[in-house]
Amino acid sequence: MTKRIAIFENEFDLLKDAFDLANLVYFSNQLEFSIFETSQDFGDIQNVKNFDKVLIDIDLSAKSDKDGYSIMRDINQVDNHPELVILTGHSNIEKKLNELGLRIPAILKKPLNVSEIVHFLR
């Protein structure tokens, strides 16, 4: 069964091979990735319910209206939203999330590793 994964990331080119390999080898290409470089590219946040998982990079493109924290906050307002996973290079992300009063979701720390991606997408 196809799983739809929304990925908020402005440098997906660097991660593409890792995600594609994970999808190819471990999910038999059953994963469908939708990439959004900016928050406004996604459109109505209620559409997040159409996805099975959402991966959010905290530092998005400078053109993005919202950063990863704000997108998280918006998604948390949606009833029955899918599971969130943060993609980040920040070492102290948990502290920052606490300061912002955000629940701490699963965190995928960069640089990414194929086996980690597989673990979080399963």
Partner 1 sequence: MKSRNTLNATDRLIKKIFSILFRLLLTLLSIFIIQSQDNSFPYWIYYLVIIIYLAIFFYFFLKDSWFQSLCRLVNDYALITFVLYQKDLFLIPNYVLVVLPVVNAPNHSGRKSSLLYPILIVVIGFLSGWEINWDLIIPIMILGLINVFRHYRSQVLDAKNDLVNLIEQFFTSEYEFRKFHNVYDLILDHIKSIKYMKNMFSIDVLVCFLVKNNRLLLLNSSKFIRYFEIDKEQELIEELEARGTCDDFSIKLMENSFHDNLFVMSKDEEMTLVFSIILHDDSTSPIGRSLLRYFFKPISHHLFKIIKHHTKIRSSLAKQQSRIRKQQQYVLKSMNAMHYVRNKLTPIKTYLNLDEIEKAVIETNDEIIKSTFYNKKENALKQSKNQLDNIVQRADFILEKSDNPFIIQNTSQHKINTLFSLIRFNWMSFFDDQNFKMDFQETFPDVHVYYNAEVIEIVLADVMSNMNKYGTEPELTILELDTDITFFFKNRISTNKVKDITYFKRIAKSYNSDESWEINKRTTHGLTLIKSYLNQMSIHSEIVLENSYFIFKMRFAKHFHV
The stretch among 25-33, 42-50, 64-72, 73-81 that binds partner 1 (CB under 8 A) is 25-33
Residue bearing tokens 């993609």: 87
Contacting partner 1 (CB under 8 A), which of 98, 100, 113, 119?
113
Contacting partner 1 (CB under 8 A), which of 2, 25, 40, 46?
25
Pairwise CA distance, residues 118 & 101, whole Å? 29
In three-state form (DSSP H/G/I as H, E/B as E, the rest C), the secondary structure along 25-80 is HHCCCCEEEEEECCHHHHCCHHHHHHCCEEEEECCCCCCCCCCHHHHHHHHHCCCC
Contacting partner 1 (CB under 8 A), which of 3, 20, 34, 67?
20
Give 13-16 contacts, CB < 8 A, sequence gap 24+: 15/87, 15/112
Neighbours of 47 (CB within 10 A): 11
Contacting partner 1 (CB under 8 A), which of 5, 6, 7, 15?
15
Per-residue string for binding with partner 1, 56-95, x by CB under 8 A? ---x-----------------------------xx-----
CB of 14 vs partner 1, minimal distance in Å? 5
Binding site for partner 1 (CB under 8 A): 11, 14-15, 17-18, 20-21, 24-26, 28, 59, 89-90, 110-115
